[in-house]
Amino acid sequence: MKIEVLTLFPNMFESLKEGVIGKALAAEKFKLNVTDIREYSLDKHKKCDDYPFGGGAGMVMTPQPIFDAIAAVDPNRQCKRIFLSPKGKTLSQSLVVELSKEENLLFLCGHYEGVDQRVIDSEIDMELSIGDYVLTGGELACMVAIDAIARYVDGVLGSSESTNEESFSNGLLEYPQYTRPQNFRGMTVPDVLLSGNHQEVDKWRYNEQLRITKEKRPDLLEEE
């Protein structure tokens, strides 16, 4: 998989070089290319925003630098082009899995009051939101999406079971996890997890998933 990112703030994506995603990038399990939209501005001051027609607060990102940046990184329209926006489709685990099957993704990060609508109408395949709230820009939402999607790329995680058994993978929240020591300050690990009986362990984990989902996210059970 190859991911293209268009942003006014490319340095924000340096954090993706850390942790599991950073190791996957270093091992070339997938490719990430971050492009500064300002590099494509024809304005002598590299300006990329202007006042909105019709008035209103804030500034709007102008179309020219964005159109030219998209044309430079995706000239043959091989990428699924995504604009991060609170008006978009909400990111879910099922959508993450769907997007992870794409060979090429392009994320456009807006800023200020957004981007000129002609960019969206002409160049964007999908608007994507990470929740019903507004951020100062699309960069953080983009990194959330990249992290979630990259986890499903072959070789990024140590084991495919890591994604098969986690929250939302089967419509339920994940069961509790325990590690050593067996007894920590009087708090002990459930006996069933020490039994070596895998069938009983699986049964306990499933029951815990049901209990936790009913307690914390009953809406997930109602959707079934």
Residue 202 belongs to some domain of the structure? yes
What pLDDT, on the 0 to 100 scale, is given for residue 167? 63
- 215 and 127 housed in the same domain: no
Range of the domain at 59: 2-150
Question: Is the CB of residue 137 less than 8 Å from the CB of residue 34?
Answer: no
Question: Is the CB of residue 96 less than 8 Å from the CB of residue 149?
Answer: yes
- 108 and 188 housed in the same domain: no
Percent of the chain with pLDDT over 90: 90
Q: What confidence tier does 163 reach under pLDDT thresholds 50, 70, 90?
A: low
pTM exceeding the 0.85 threshold for the entire prediction: yes
What whole-number distance in Å separates Cα of residue 59 and Cα of residue 16? 28
Among the ranges given (29-33, 82-86, 163-167, 214-218), the one the predictor scored with the smallest mean pLDDT: 163-167
Q: What confidence tier does 171 reach under pLDDT thresholds 50, 70, 90?
A: confident
Residue 155 belongs to some domain of the structure? no
Q: At what angle do helices 139-150 and 93-100 cross, to 10 degrees?
A: 70
Question: Is the CB of residue 114 less than 8 Å from the CB of residue 60?
Answer: yes
Average pLDDT over the chain, rounded to whole? 94
The total domain count for the chain is 2
Q: Is 34 left (phi over 0), alpha (psi -120 to 50) or beta?
A: beta
What pLDDT, on the 0 to 100 scale, is given for residue 166? 62
Question: Is the CB of residue 126 less than 8 Å from the CB of residue 81?
Answer: yes
Which sign does the torsion angle of CA 183, 189, 194, 195 carry?
A: positive
- 127 and 207 housed in the same domain: no
Question: Is the CB of residue 111 less than 8 Å from the CB of residue 138?
Answer: yes
Q: Which of 150, 174, 206 is the last residue in one of the domains?
A: 150
What pLDDT, on the 0 to 100 scale, is given for residue 178? 95
As a whole number, mean pLDDT of residues 2-12 equals 98
DSSP 152-204: TSTTSSS-THHHHSSTTTTSSPPPP---S-SEETTEE--GGGGS--HHHHHHH
User: pLDDT, tens digit, for every residue of 91-147?
Assistant: 999 999 999 999 999 999 999 889 999 999 999 999 999 999 999 999 999 999 999
User: pLDDT, tens digit, for every residue of 35-54?
Assistant: 999 999 999 999 999 999 99
* pLDDT above 80 for 159: no
- 14 and 125 housed in the same domain: yes
Q: Give the CATH number, domain containing residue 34.
A: 3.40.1280.10
What pLDDT, on the 0 to 100 scale, is given for residue 170? 80
- 139 and 67 housed in the same domain: yes
As a whole number, mean pLDDT of residues 143-167 equals 83
What pLDDT, on the 0 to 100 scale, is given for residue 127? 98
- 25 and 119 housed in the same domain: yes
